[in-house]
Structure 1
């Protein structure tokens, strides 16, 4: 079976604070030109996308420097719900969700897909208040050699700039991008803004092939899960 785990690319879709707005508009039309083309304006991290190490590491690989096979993953779904807005996900929380120990992760798994529940808030200010990985949790993933996919803007906190739904940024939240950096230094993948995780099996294949952007720091993807019924 196959399931699309991607957000539609469309004008006005949610983007990370400060990223370019997305527009998808007609260029040529059947009525005026006899054929149809469209103009797409987007940032490299719009919608469901993969990050390249270059995203946060100045000397990191660009998206087109990674072998295409690196974007076909053996994935394990990790249900972390319920979580509070802006709740840190520690190494112990991750271990408990994996059934009592991250040491027991199947060695053939190369991506943990974290279900935080924040996909339900897509299109609202609350989406910025997603839970995030602590640096210790990212280090645990690094030690296990597994990357991260998740149903949120990313594994680090997203700035809000103001109070939203009772959740605010705090001094306890890490500065910068420590979870990204930890994973990228080990050349581990990060897939962001996944959706459609309800009802997926514990293990599945996840395909998230990026555009071949020369020197790109990331790329939108069509993320697709595959499993045997």
Structure 2
């Protein structure tokens, strides 16, 4: 197996990286310098859901698995990119939207919802993003999907405190990836996704580095 191309799907994590309203704002400070201590080191304060990240079931369920209890093989595998770039502000991603891709979605598939909404970072409409309908999530679970990712800050609608898709995936012990980007740079079929979160114990989630790979199998 040879890697022919790699696409980074991760937002750069800075103090200006968008966060979900109410989450801790990232803060990065100089802790030591070469001039004073002989080495450079930074102090980083972030929330568990800062930047491009993964949600564990514990994020919305007290009895859900924490991130360190999730098997590593769930974060790696073949993916299907679903193009929903036609969706507007606060518009549902419906079962009809996934119909053209449904035959390619099999057991243990990773699904990427491409909205290109990351291009609205810094604009008011960024938080009025498209979101996955509950019925769509149900279909994907029945098809055996193990992991869904989206290039918006929330797979659910970012209003209020009702997160039906989060709860559905958490009940099934499945994983959600959010606040990703650059799905539009995946210009090849059958990408392999590797999405490795920080190995934090007893956590609801963690920032992750996500890449898509074109493989010569």
**Is the structural similarity TM-score above 0.5?**
yes
Task: Report the TM-score when normalising by structure 1.
Answer: 0.86
Match of 2:172 among 186, 195, 199: 186
Displacement of 1:110 in angstroms is 1.5
Question: 2:113 is paired with a residue of what secondary structure?
Answer: strand
Within 5 A, what are the aligned runs for 1:10-159?
Answer: 10-96=14-100, 98=101, 102=102, 104-107=103-106, 110-146=109-145, 147-159=147-159
Per-residue deviation, residues 140-198 of structure 1 (Å, max 9, x unmatched): 111112131110012101139xxxxxxxxxxxxxx611011112212222111111112
Displacement of 1:109 in angstroms is 5.2
Match of 1:9 among 13, 27, 37: 13
Q: Is the 8 A contact 2:24 2:47 kept in 1?
A: yes
Question: 2:197 is paired with a residue of what secondary structure?
Answer: coil
Question: 2:215 is paired with a residue of what secondary structure?
Answer: coil
Q: Is the 8 A contact 1:13 1:123 kept in 2?
A: no
Q: Is the 8 A contact 1:207 1:225 kept in 2?
A: yes
1:196 equivalent in alignment to 2:174: no
1: CA distance, partners of 2:189 / 2:114: 11
Displacement of 1:108 in angstroms is 5.3
Task: Report the TM-score when normalising by structure 2.
Answer: 0.91
Q: Is the 8 A contact 2:48 2:205 kept in 1?
A: yes
Q: Is the 8 A contact 1:145 1:188 kept in 2?
A: no
Q: Is the 8 A contact 1:12 1:23 kept in 2?
A: no
Residue of structure 2 equivalent to 1:224: 211
2: CA distance, partners of 1:140 / 1:27: 48
* Cα root mean square deviation, aligned: 1.6
Query: CA separation of 1:106/1:89 partners in 2, compared to 1, >3 Å: closer, same or farther?
Result: closer
Q: Is the 8 A contact 2:64 2:170 kept in 1?
A: yes
Q: Which runs of 5 or more structure 2 residues have no equivalent in the other structure?
A: none
2: CA distance, partners of 1:105 / 1:79: 14
Q: Is the 8 A contact 2:116 2:181 kept in 1?
A: no
Within 5 A, what are the aligned runs for 1:157-176?
Answer: 157-159=157-159, 176=162
Q: Which runs of 5 or more structure 1 residues have no equivalent in the other structure?
A: 161-174
